[in-house]
Every structure is written in C-alpha cells, then in structure tokens.
C-alpha cells in the first residue's frame, strides 16, 4: 500500500457522539484490514465524520446486528476465499461474513433477533462494500464476496452505494460485476463495490481507494439521512 499524504494526521476522535459512519471488515491475512484503515484515512481527508477504528466482524460475532443498528452509513469489506468452498462447507470469506452470506443473517443467534428484526436493522441503511482478491490466480472468482454481500444487504432493504467502472482489471468473472443501474437497458456492466487486488496490482490500491471514497461523497452516500429513500436509488433487489 502507498501511504496517505505525509501531511495527513488522523484525528483521534471527531465528536463526543458515535459517528454515523463506520467501517466493518473481515480478514484472514490482514489485507482487507489495511484497506479498511486506508479507507478511514481517506474518509477523514474528505471531511467525513467516521468512527476512527475499523471494526473486525470476527470480534463482534453475535452482535453484528446491534453494531449495524448504531450507524446509518456502513462500509463493509471482505476478502474472497471461494476456492476453499470445497474444503469447508460454504466458506466464502474465511471470516464471520460467511454467517451473513449463509443467511444466519447478521450473526444474530446470540441476539435472538428474528428475521423481521434484522430486516428492520437493515431497511434504509446505506451500505457500500469493498473487498480484496487476486484476479490473476482466481480470474473467474475475483472478489466474489463483494457481490455476495451486496446481494444479501440489497435483498434485505439496504440502499446500496459504491459502484465503480471496471477499467484496469484483467479478471474474466466476478459476482461483484452487476448491470449498471444508470444504464439499465444498455447492459453496461460495473462493479457493485470497490475491488482491490493487492496481489497483482498493489500499486493501484491507494488510487482506487481515493477514487472510491470521492465517488461515495459525490453520490451522496454520506448525506444526512432524512428517513426517505435517496432519489434515484433502488433498494431491494437492486
């Protein structure tokens, strides 16, 4: 990773109140955590009031739903380990995100939340997803977890942000590639989140993070919630 500008100092705390924006991540070997921290640094550079520490989903297993409930704008990052599927049943990220993907919805067993309660937590929540993968060794499964997390949150009523153009990649297939909402009918494809490849394109990671955060700002991801669906956004099934 390239570091943020030398002049940048991340503030210890922005306000006395919990920030509206929080970054959650899962990781096996640390890459997605580094990306999460880079995103937080860039959020502060852009003046976004964000929780200064990224939250590891493995540390809050069983309380992901209440953790989500405390924020209205959420960024979720996951690595992809789809080739491990055959080894451990339905292991897609190697992290607690697998519980979400396998419809133990928000790892909520210990919270005794039923599906309706989980839907209430997610309905109207603004969520953007990012992920780490390796498009050279896994060209047909690149960053699948980003697309799968996106599908689960979207189907539960969250407003999904964070799509990006597919320029600069070499992979052939990914669950994160979806039809562009802006170009329905034209069948333009885009990624539904930020796809990072720190294995074969580490020098592009910082620029990709920067461009993604700027686009999130432009798209109104961090706008104050007013309880209504942001204009032009689809939720369920988008």
Q: Point out which span in 30-38, 116-124, 155-163, 215-223 binds ligand FMN (CB under 6 A).
A: 30-38
In the complex, minimum distance from the CB of residue 34 to ligand FMN, in angstroms, rounded to a whole number: 8
In the complex, minimum distance from the CB of residue 80 to ligand FMN, in angstroms, rounded to a whole number: 4
Q: Does 133 bind ligand FMN (CB under 6 A)?
A: yes
- Residue of this chain nearest to ligand FMN (CB atom): 133
Q: Which of residues 52-91 bind ligand FMN (CB under 6 A)?
A: 79-84
Question: Which of 58, 179, 199, 219 contacts ligand FMN by CB under 6 A?
Answer: 199
The string of DSSP codes covering the chain is: -PPPPTT----S-S-SSPPSEEEEE--SSSHHHHHHHHHHHHHHHTT--B-SSPEEGGGGTT-HHHHHHT-SEEEEEEE--GGGTTTSTT-SSSSTHHHHHTT-TTS-GGGT--HHHHHHHHTT-EEEEEEE--TTT-TTSTTHHHHHHHHHHHHTTPEEE--B--TT---S--TTEEE-GGGTTTT-EEESSEEE-TTT-GGGHHHHHHHHHHHHHHTTTTSPP-SSPPTT---TT-
Q: Does 169 bind ligand FMN (CB under 6 A)?
A: no
Select 83 or 170, whichever has its Cβ closest to ligand FMN. Answer: 83
Q: Does 204 bind ligand FMN (CB under 6 A)?
A: no
Residues that bind ligand FMN (CB under 6 A): 27-32, 79-84, 132-134, 138, 141-143, 198-199
């Amino acid at each position: 990773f390239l570091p943020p500008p030398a002049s940048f100092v991340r503030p210890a705390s922005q306000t006395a109140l919990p920030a509206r924006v929080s970054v959650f991540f899962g990781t096996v070997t640390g890459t997605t955590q580094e990306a999460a921290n880079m995103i937080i640094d860039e959020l502060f550079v852009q003046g976004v009031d964000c929780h200064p520490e990224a939250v590891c989903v493995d540390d809050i297993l069983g309380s992901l739903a209440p953790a989500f409930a405390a924020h209205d704008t959420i960024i979720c990052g996951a690595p992809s380990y789809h080739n491990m599927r055959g080894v451990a049943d339905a292991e897609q990220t190697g992290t607690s995100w697998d519980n979400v993907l396998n419809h133990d919805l928000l790892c909520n067993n210990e919270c005794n939340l039923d599906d309706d309660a989980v839907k209430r937590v997610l309905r109207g929540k603004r969520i953007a997803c990012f992920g780490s993968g390796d498009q050279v060794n896994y060209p047909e499964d690149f960053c699948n977890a980003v697309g799968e997390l996106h599908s689960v949150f979207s189907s539960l009523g969250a407003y999904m942000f964070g799509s990006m153009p597919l320029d600069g990649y070499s992979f052939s297939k990914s669950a994160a590639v979806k039809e562009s909402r802006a170009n329905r009918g034209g069948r333009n494809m885009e990624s539904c989140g930020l796809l990072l490849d720190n294995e074969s394109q580490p020098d592009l990671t910082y620029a990709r993070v920067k461009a993604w955060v700027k686009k999130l700002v432009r798209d109104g991801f961090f706008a104050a919630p007013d309880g209504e669906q942001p204009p032009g956004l689809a939720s369920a099934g988008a």
